[in-house]
Amino acid sequence: MIGLSHYLVLSAILFSIGLVGVLRRKNLLMLFFATEIMLNAANVAFAAISYHYNDLSGQMFAFFVVAVAASEIAVGLGLLVILYKKYGTLDLDEFTVMRG
């Protein structure tokens, strides 16, 4: 029987994968993917806990997250395109203009 804890473990695994992606990856596009994975890990946890407690507000929150993530990606990808046109690369190590 698949219970709440399975879902939460799945969520934790997904979140960790996302986090490692964020920390290790150097390509900005990959960073976006990793962020999406983290967001969806949270969504899985929301939905599972909502079901467990029989409370719909968690699932509603998941919808909001999906919507926000979609708009964020829309804006983010636009910025990436401009960035790529300007520098010809998306490698994070190249963008160090704010070095102190």
Kindly tell me which residue out of 23, 74, 75, 82 binds other proteins, with binding defined by CB under 8 A. 23
Is the CB of 56 or the CB of 79 nearer to other proteins? 79
Nearest alpha-carbon partner for 60 in 49, 73, 70: 49
Is the CB of 22 or the CB of 47 nearer to other proteins? 22
Kindly tell me which residue out of 8, 10, 17, 22 binds other proteins, with binding defined by CB under 8 A. 22
Q: What are phi and psi of 11, to 5 degrees?
A: -60, -45
Cβ-Cβ contacts under 8 Å for 11 (sequence gap 6 or more) = 41, 42, 44, 45, 48
Q: Which stretch binds other proteins (CB under 8 A): 6-14, 24-32, 64-72, 82-90?
A: 24-32
